[in-house]
Amino acid sequence: MSSLPLFSALLRLADDRLVLGHRTSEWCGHGPILEEDIALANLALDQIGQANHLLTYAATVEKASRDEDALAYFRDAIEYRNALLCELPNGDFGVTIVRQFLYGVYSVLQWDALSKSKDGTLAGIAAKSLKEARYHVRHAGEWVIRLGDGTDESHRRAQVAVDTLWPYTGELFMQPADEAELVADGITADVSLLELAWEVQVADVLRRATLTAPETAWMQRGGREGKHTEHLGHLLAEMQIVARSHPDAKW
């Protein structure tokens, strides 16, 4: 693994979207109704597309003669840098939607900050992705309100989803030490500075959804250092099997 700070920062950005995008794609053909099935597939394609741009750029930065496909399909779980939140199983529709919302709000704030990056390539990827992420938040946020403020059953499930996912949100705002210089140079954004805005926006939607955030101070962490849950290995096995079985295949 390269020690280039920019490469590491791009992997963190890319792996979040790649892993969450793959999770979202697991809904394809299983959506509660046709329209939502298509919507979820759209979200997945947006997220995987963002990861594609980021990994392509990461490969350029690394200069180690491996391309975006090699980075996606030939790294093991221990080399992945996504937040644990992104790799958790989809659960029911409530868990899926609440995660899309919690992560989506974070993603919008992050892309917004990165769209002002002094690195032109990163700023360009961010500006394009920001539009997509804004729609993801709108889609998921409207659903959170409808599920939370819906029937007794939908409210119960949405609250379980919030309680289950909440301890995984803290990791999103833990700023990695090796990024200090990049932040100082205006290349990347300090994620710890996004937390306040995230809390305000999430609290507003949870309130309208009649849901409550749990009072827990303890947060899960590990993904950014390659210490993942057992779930990531299974996800990667499925995602990588074709590329690894046919390493030089073109399609």
Partner 1 sequence: MSSPDRSWPLWEVFTQGKDGEPHQHAGSVHATDAEHALQNARDTYARRNEGVSLWVVPSAAITASTPEDMGPFFDPANDKAYRHPQFYKVPKGVKVF
To the nearest whole angstrom, how small is the minimum distance from the Cβ of residue 145 to partner 1?
Answer: 10
**Position among 3, 33, 215, 249 found at the interface with partner 1 (CB under 8 A):** 33
Backbone torsions φ then ψ of 117, nearest 5 degrees: -60, 145
To the nearest whole angstrom, how small is the minimum distance from the Cβ of residue 47 to partner 1?
Answer: 14
**Tokens linked to 86:** 């992104």
Distance between CA atoms of 180 and 185, rounded to whole angstroms? 9
The CA–CA distances, whole Å, from 183 to 129, 158, 188 equal 20, 36, 5
Candidates 166, 24, 194, 26; CA nearest to 109 is 194
Mark 36-65 with x for binding to partner 1 (rule: CB under 8 A) and - for no binding: x-xx--x-----------------------
Inter-residue contact 126 to 108 (CB < 8 Å): no
Is 35 or 215 the residue whose CB approaches partner 1 more closely? 35
To the nearest whole angstrom, how small is the minimum distance from the Cβ of residue 90 to partner 1?
Answer: 18
The answer to whether 25 contacts partner 1 (rule: CB under 8 A) is no
Vertex 10: Cα angle to 65 and 59 (nearest 5): 10
Candidates 54, 63, 60, 58; CA nearest to 20 is 54
The answer to whether 35 contacts partner 1 (rule: CB under 8 A) is yes
Is 34 or 177 the residue whose CB approaches partner 1 more closely? 34
What's the N-to-C CA distance of the chain in angstroms? 27
To the nearest whole angstrom, how small is the minimum distance from the Cβ of residue 42 to partner 1?
Answer: 5
To the nearest whole angstrom, how small is the minimum distance from the Cβ of residue 36 to partner 1?
Answer: 8
Is 134 or 221 the residue whose CB approaches partner 1 more closely? 134
Half-sphere exposure of 8 (CA within 13 A, CB side): 17
Q: What is the footprint of partner 1 within residues 122-151 (CB under 8 A)?
A: 135, 138-139, 142, 146
The answer to whether 154 contacts partner 1 (rule: CB under 8 A) is no
To the nearest whole angstrom, how small is the minimum distance from the Cβ of residue 151 to partner 1?
Answer: 11
Residues of this chain that interact with partner 1 (CB under 8 A) are 33-36, 38-39, 42, 135, 138-139, 142, 146
